[in-house]
Amino acid sequence: MLKPRKFFLTAGVGFHEDPLVSFELALRDAKIEKFNLVPVSSIIPPDCVRVSLEEGLKELSAGEIVFCVMAKHSSGEEGKKIYAAVGGAKPISGHGYLVEYSGNYSGEDLDSFVRERASYLVETSHGKKPNEVFSISKVAEVKKITTVVAAAVFVI
């Protein structure tokens, strides 16, 4: 069974004239550029624990296939602000949820927004409030081509 034991949150930003390089630089800023990232949907397994970025990275190696829930946004409209955010919620027992949002930033409290959405999914799925809520977000003003990423990265 392929089931994550741990996960960690990370975010980054990259600036460059080329969209692909901008994305790579955002992944580098988030410290996850060395992995073959595979996007997955929104479920946190029941016994999967959140760890720090540093602890999670210790268990991964360059070139490894790594599953993640990622929000990503790129823009070349200089002066605009863009964002990427991932939030999650876990009940005491049962599976949790991750949500990812990205787009043009207009000043909203991104962390509250994604935490509320993830909490709603737990409450409507399990009929109880989550025991743990968390989030990560990145906002950047566009220069050249700018890419922002936020991710929940799973460790198998």
Beta-strand pair 6-16/49-50: parallel
List pLDDT tens digits, range 63-119. 999 999 999 999 999 999 999 999 999 999 999 999 999 999 999 999 999 999 999
User: What is the pTM (predicted TM-score) of this model?
Assistant: 0.95
Residue 45: DSSP 8-state:
P
Residue 1 in this model has a pLDDT that exceeds 90: no
Residue 62: DSSP 8-state:
T
CATH of domain 6-155: 3.50.20.10
List pLDDT tens digits, range 19-64. 999 999 999 999 999 999 999 999 999 999 999 999 999 999 999 9
For position 8, what pLDDT does the model report? 98
Contact 83, 103 (CB under 8 A): yes
For position 38, what pLDDT does the model report? 98
Contact 53, 10 (CB under 8 A): yes
For position 53, what pLDDT does the model report? 98
How far apart CA 104 and CA 62 sit, in angstroms, is: 32
How far apart CA 68 and CA 82 sit, in angstroms, is: 21
For position 66, what pLDDT does the model report? 98
